[in-house]
Amino acid sequence: MNIRQYISGPLTGFGLAVAAIAGVLDQASKLYLLFVYDLANNPTRLGPFFDFVLTKNTGISYGLFSGGGDLGRWVLLGLKAAAVGLLWAWLSKAENRLTALALGLIMGGAVGNAIDRLAYGWVVDFVFFHVSGADWRFNWYVFNLADVAIVAGVIGLLYESVIGDRAAKAP
């Protein structure tokens, strides 16, 4: 397979458009919250379950692998670039819109977070989900729109592999 086939698969353009939209929305929300709203100085309660707070995530999901300094940053960027390349190759062979949509969401989210890592050295996370009762509290991790896109994409791929038309069926 040559490079032209990676760019011109039947649903590649659709998936790349989804990736671009996801990445742009993620970056726009972060830029607005950082530089217009000044989230660092204005944490905001959005309701009983959600707050906007600024978290500088130097690791990956849940802050894992956050102690690597500049070397860790570049290793994570390299891994992310490799993952996006593999996802793009998969996208070039996508046979239905759900696969292309899901892969595009994952790629767009990965690129959105990679841009943060390149620009700031950390990923901008800002949505804090929490639930509390009289004597208990559950805090979910702080996330961003790129994370939402990645999770939605993974859910789409899981749906397709387990429930979708092409899912493996028991005899």
- Residue 142 burial (CB count, 10 A): 22
Annotated catalytic residue within 26, 70, 116, 125: 125
Whether 26 is catalytic is no
Could you report how far apart the first and last alpha carbons of the chain are, in Å? 34
Annotated catalytic residue within 38, 116, 135, 147: 147
Whether 125 is catalytic is yes
Q: What is the DSSP string of the chain?
A: --HHHHH-STTHHHHHHHHHHHHHHHHHHHHIIIIIS-GGG--EE-SSSEEEEEEEE-SSGGGTTTT-HHHHHHHHHHHHHHHHHHHHHHHHT--SHHHHHHHHHHHHHHHHHHHHHHHHSSEEEEEEEEEE-SS-EEEEEEE-HHHHHHHHHHHHHHHHHHTSTTS----
Catalytic residues: 125, 147
